[in-house]
Amino acid sequence: MGSRKREMAAKLKEQKSQIAIAKLNNCPTSPRKMRLVADIIRGKKVEDALNILKFSSKEAARRLDKLVLSAIANWQSKNEDSDVADAGLYIKEIRVDGGTMLKRLRPAPQGRAHRIRKRSNHVTVVLGQKNNEEVN
């Protein structure tokens, strides 16, 4: 391996240690309802986001709460020597994509049928670490 390639690989490894990713696939909530909650916590510090989710009355907030806690645990497994409170973690990216759709038929009057679409979604949370230079 050449020296430039080795330096680039070390740089990428350092960047990846600064972030943590958690995914939730096939969550049985419509993407629109999940995006309402996701938009509230996007860009917030992790402590603030957890407080917002804890006191939210929406069902999607409970699912996102567990997902953010999972992302924190993933960050801790990478950076065992660092403390979460001192790290300055924030929600760098949160993405809600549409998942699979269950299609059902509901009987309607006069021999007709209405289609029922039960939507699901995929949520991806990326936690970033604010460096001291970025905070100032």
Q: pLDDT per residue over 59-87, tens digit each?
A: 999 999 999 999 999 999 988 888 888 88
Write out the two tokens for 59. 């069902």
Model confidence at 1, pLDDT cuts 50, 70, 90, reads: low
pLDDT of residue 17: 79
Structural domains of the chain, ranges and CATH numbers in brackets: 18-135 (3.90.470.10)
Please tell me the pTM assigned to this model.
0.84
Distance, in Å, from the CA atom of 72 to the CA atom of 89, rounded to the nearest integer, reads: 9
CB distance 4 to 28 below 8 Å = no
Write out the two tokens for 127. 């936690």
**pLDDT, tens only, 95-133:** 999 999 999 999 999 999 999 999 999 999 999 988 644
Write out the two tokens for 113. 């049928």
Q: Cα–chain-centroid distance for residue 38? A: 8
Given a cut of 60, whether residue 15 has pLDDT beyond it is yes
Write out the two tokens for 21. 């990713």
pLDDT of residue 120: 97
Distance, in Å, from the CA atom of 31 to the CA atom of 101, rounded to the nearest integer, reads: 11
Distance, in Å, from the CA atom of 97 to the CA atom of 34, rounded to the nearest integer, reads: 10
